[in-house]
C-alpha cells in the first residue's frame, strides 16, 4: 500500500463558516470548528480518500459494526497558541503510539502516525483562528476511529473510518485551581488485567458511567478505581492517572495492563525525575494510602490528564471515611508541576524535552 502524503489530500472548504464562540462561557465538547479530517480503510485497499471537509453529519449504515460490537478507539490532545501567535501540539507522537496500541488490542488496523500528525497540523492550520491565544485555553483535538462494515457477525470489521474533530476549550480552571473530591469505588470496576483497560476505547468509558453517577449523587466529582481482581490496588481516576506524595516519595500506580498509559502521567514522571525527585511507579493499595493519610504522611494527591493537566485531590472518600489531603489545598509539588507543564505547552517555559511540536504561525 502506498504511503499517504498530506499533499495528496483533498480539501473542501466550508462556504458557511460559523461564528467563533464566547470562550468565557463555552461548555467543553459541544462546539466544533468548520472542518474535519476524514479517511477510510478497507481490507486489501488500506487507508484511502484522506480529505478535509466541512464539519457536519455523515452517512453510515445502521448495521455498521461500531453500533453493535464496539470496535472504536480514540485519542485526545490539545493545540495551544501563544502570545506570538505560534500554534503547537504537545507530544502528538505519543498519542499516535497509544492509538496504534489501542488498535492492536481491538483488532483494528494501524494508522500511519506521521501522516496523521501531518494531516492534523494541516487541519489545525486551516482552523488557526479557532485556537484561543490565551494561557489555559486551547483547541481540543479528537482523533477517533471506528468500524463501518455493515455486518452482524462477531469478528473484526473489514472497514473503518478515521476522523479528526476539533473543539475549542475555555479555561479548565476559571477561578484558580480547585482541588476535587473523589470517591473510591468499591463496587463497580472499570477494567481488569486481560481486558481493555490500557486501550483508549469506547467501552471503558461506557462502563464507567454508572459509578460516576453514584459518586456525583453523593457529592463527589469523580471516581477513583480499584483493580478488578482484588478491589485493593489503586488504578486511576475517571479520565486521569493519579499521583500521591507519601512521606517524601511520589508514587503513581505502575502500568499493569488495566490502566490507561496517560501522556500527562508519562510527562510528569519524566519531569519529576529530571528534577531529581523520588518518583516511583509501583503497586499501591488503598489500605497503604489510608494508613499513610491517618499517619499524616499523605502530603499531596493529584490527577494528571490532558483536560486539566494537573487536578489536585482535596478529599478522598472510602468505605465511609473522609480523607482530607493537604487541608483541601493544592500542594506545592502539584502547583510546580502544573506551572511547568502548562508553561511548556503555552511556550512561556523552556522545553528541555522537545515536547512541543510546531503547527503553524498566525
Ligand X SMILES: Cc1ncc(COP(=O)(O)O)c(C=O)c1O
User: Which residues of the chain form contacts with ligand X (CB under 6 A)?
Assistant: 76, 236, 239-241, 260, 262-265, 304-306
Q: Which three cell numbers stand for residue 360?
A: 503553524
Name the binder of 163 from ligand X, its own copies, none, CB < 5-8 A by kind.
its own copies
Name the binder of 173 from ligand X, its own copies, none, CB < 5-8 A by kind.
none
Question: Which residues are CB-neighbours of 216 under 8 A, at least 6 positions away?
Answer: none
Name the binder of 306 from its own copies, ligand X, none, CB < 5-8 A by kind.
ligand X
Indicate the pairing of strand 180-184 with strand 309-318: parallel
Nearest to 95, CA basis, from 113, 80, 71: 113
How near is the Cβ of 46 to its own copies at its closest, in Å? 19
- Give the angle subtended at the CA of 215 by the CAs of 342 and 325, to the nearest 5°: 55
**115 near its own copies, judged by CB under 8 A:** no
Q: Which three cell numbers stand for residue 211?
A: 459509578
**63 near its own copies, judged by CB under 8 A:** yes
Question: Which residues are CB-neighbours of 259 under 8 A, at least 6 positions away?
Answer: 191, 197, 198, 235, 236, 241, 253
Task: Tell me which stretch binds its own copies (CB under 8 A): 113-121, 203-211, 246-254, 334-342.
Answer: 203-211
How near is the Cβ of 261 to ligand X at its closest, in Å? 8
Name the binder of 153 from ligand X, its own copies, none, CB < 5-8 A by kind.
its own copies
The strand pairing partners of 23, in sequence order, are none
Of 61 and 361, the one with the shorter C-beta distance to its own copies is: 61
Name the binder of 343 from its own copies, ligand X, none, CB < 5-8 A by kind.
none
Answer whether 109's CB lies under 8 Å from 146's CB.
no
Name the binder of 236 from its own copies, ligand X, none, CB < 5-8 A by kind.
ligand X
Of 48, 110, 193, 232, the residue at the interface with its own copies (CB under 8 A) is 193
**195 near its own copies, judged by CB under 8 A:** yes
Q: Which three cell numbers stand for residue 202?
A: 469506547
Name the binder of 260 from its own copies, ligand X, none, CB < 5-8 A by kind.
ligand X
Q: Which three cell numbers stand for residue 67?
A: 453500533
Nearest to 59, CA basis, from 76, 42, 30, 38: 38
**187 near its own copies, judged by CB under 8 A:** yes
Q: Phi-psi category of 113—alpha, beta or left, where left has phi over 0 and alpha has psi -120 to 50? A: alpha
Of 134 and 231, the one with the shorter C-beta distance to its own copies is: 231
Question: What whole-number distance in Å separates Cα of residue 303 and Cα of residue 309?
Answer: 8
Site residues for its own copies per CB under 8 A: 27-30, 32, 36, 55, 57-63, 66-72, 74, 105-107, 140, 142, 144, 146, 150-156, 163, 165, 167, 187-196, 201-210, 212-213, 228-231, 238-239
Amino acid at each position: 500500500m502506498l504511503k499517504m502524503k498530506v499533499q495528496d489530500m483533498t480539501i473542501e472548504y466550508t462556504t458557511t463558516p460559523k461564528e467563533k464562540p464566547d470562550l468565557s462561557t463555552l461548555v467543553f465538547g459541544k462546539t466544533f470548528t468548520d472542518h474535519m479530517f476524514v479517511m477510510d480503510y478497507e481490507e486489501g485497499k488500506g487507508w484511502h480518500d484522506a480529505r478535509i471537509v466541512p464539519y457536519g453529519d455523515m452517512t453510515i449504515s445502521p448495521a455498521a459494526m461500531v453500533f453493535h460490537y464496539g470496535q472504536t478507539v480514540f485519542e485526545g490532545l490539545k493545540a495551544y497558541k501563544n502570545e506570538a501567535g505560534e500554534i503547537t501540539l504537545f507530544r502528538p507522537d505519543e498519542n499516535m503510539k497509544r492509538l496504534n496500541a489501542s488498535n492492536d488490542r481491538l483488532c483494528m488496523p494501524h494508522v500511519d502516525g506521521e501522516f496523521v500528525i501531518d494531516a492534523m497540523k494541516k487541519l489545525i492550520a486551516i482552523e488557526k483562528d479557532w485556537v484561543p491565544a490565551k494561557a489555559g485555553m486551547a483547541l481540543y483535538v479528537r482523533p477517533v476511529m471506528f468500524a463501518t462494515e455493515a455486518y452482524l457477525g462477531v469478528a473484526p470489521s473489514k472497514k473503518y473510518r478515521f476522523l479528526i474533530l476539533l473543539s475549542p476549550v475555555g479555561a479548565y480552571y476559571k477561578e484558580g485551581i480547585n482541588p476535587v473530591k473523589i470517591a473510591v469505588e468499591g463496587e463497580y470496576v472499570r477494567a481488569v488485567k486481560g481486558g481493555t483497560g490500557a486501550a483508549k476505547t469506547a467501552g471503558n468509558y461506557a462502563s464507567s458511567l454508572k459509578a460516576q453517577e453514584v459518586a456525583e449523587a453523593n457529592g463527589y466529582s469523580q471516581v477513583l478505581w480499584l483493580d478488578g481482581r482484588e478491589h485493593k490496588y489503586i488504578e486511576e481516576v475517571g479520565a486521569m492517572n493519579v499521583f500521591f506524595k507519601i512521606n517524601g516519595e511520589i508514587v503513581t500506580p505502575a502500568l499493569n495492563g488495566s490502566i490507561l498509559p496517560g501522556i500527562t502521567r508519562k510527562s510528569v514522571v519524566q519531569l519529576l525525575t529530571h528534577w531529581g525527585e523520588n518518583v516511583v511507579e509501583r503497586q499501591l493499595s488503598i489500605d497503604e494510602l489510608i494508613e499513610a493519610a491517618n499517619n499524616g504522611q499523605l502530603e499531596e494527591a493529584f490527577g494528571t490528564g490532558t483536560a486539566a493537566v494537573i487536578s489536585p485531590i482535596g478529599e478522598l472518600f472510602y468505605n465511609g471515611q473522609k480523607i482530607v489531603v493537604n487541608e483541601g489545598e493544592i500542594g506545592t509539588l502539584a502547583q510546580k508541576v502544573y506551572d511547568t507543564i502548562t508553561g511548556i505547552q503555552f511556550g512561556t517555559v523552556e522545553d528541555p524535552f522537545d515536547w512541543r511540536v510546531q503547527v503553524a504561525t498566525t
